[in-house]
Amino acid sequence: MTVLLLIAAGGLAGLAGALLGIGGGVVLVPALVIGLGIPLEDAVPASLMCVVAGSCASAASYVDKRLSDIRLGLTLELATVLGAIGGGLVAAYIAPAMVAVVFGLFTFYVGLHSLLARSRRQEPVDAAYTPMNYPLGVSGSFVAGGLSALLGVGGGPLKVPLMNSGMRVPFKVATATSNLMVGVTGAASVASYAWRGHVKLELVSPLVVGVLGGAYLGTRVMPRVPTAVLKKVFAIVLLLVAGQMLWKGGVGLWPSMWK
C-alpha cells in the first residue's frame, strides 16, 4: 500500500512539474512529510532525485517539440548556479526565516496578481518571440539560485513568471525551459546528499516510477491545455508556495519576537 501511495505522490509531482515547470518538489515534499510521515531529511533528497528524473523525461519531450528555448535556458541557468554558490556562501550570515517571509510575500503578490489578472489573447505554441530584458532575467535567475540555496526551494516558481512577464517569453515556452533548467540545479544539489549517504533507494525508486509516468502524461497534455488555464493553475500553486514559505518563516521568527 505504501509503495502505491509513493507512486501516486510521484505521479502527481511529475504531472505538476511537466505542466508548470516547477520541478514538482513543491508538491512532493509536503506530500511525503505531512501525508506519509517521511522525515524531512529523507524527503528532501528523494524530492531532488525526482526533480532530476522528471526534468530529464519532460525536457527531452519539450526539446523534441521545440518548446524549450535552449539558449535562454543555458544563459539563465549559469546565473542560477552562480546565485546558488553565492547563497551557500552567505547562508551563515542571513536568517533563513526572514528570507522565507520576504519570498513568501513576493510569491503571494505574484500568485494573487496572476490569479486575478484578466487573460490576454491566446499565445500560440509556435508564436515567434524574442526574449527581452536579459539583464532582468539574469539578475532574477541569480536571486532564484540564491533562494534555492538559502531555503531549499526550486527556482521554478520564480523563473517561470520572470521569463513570461519580465522577458516576454510565451508561458508554455517558459514552462518548458524551466523544466530544462531545474534538472541541472537539482542534479547539483542532490550530489551532496548522495555523497553523505542520505539518498534512500527504497524510497526513491517508487517515487521515480510515478514521476516518470506523471511527466510523460504532462508533456502530452500541456501543449493542448489553453495557456489561460495553465496560468491560473500556476497562480494557485504560487499561492500554496507562498503559504508554505510564510509558515516556515513565521515559525522561525516567532520565538525571537518574544525575546
Strongest mean pLDDT among 100-114, 120-134, 202-216:
202-216
Average pLDDT over residues 5-12: 89
**Cell numbers at residue 259, please?**
525575546
User: Model confidence at 258, in pLDDT bands (50, 70, 90)?
Assistant: very low
Number of domains in the chain: 1
Amino acid at 100: A
Domain with 10, as residue range(s), is: 2-257
Calpha distance 18→61 (Å, rounded): 10
Region 152-159: mean pLDDT is 72
The torsion angles phi and psi of 117, rounded to 5 degrees, stand at -70, 145
Calpha distance 79→89 (Å, rounded): 15
Higher model confidence: residue 29 or residue 222?
222
Q: CA 181 to CA 245: how far, in whole Å?
A: 22
Tens-digit pLDDT profile for residues 186-219: 777 777 677 777 778 888 889 999 999 999 998 8
Among 35-39, 70-74, 92-96, 134-138, name the one with the lowest average pLDDT.
92-96
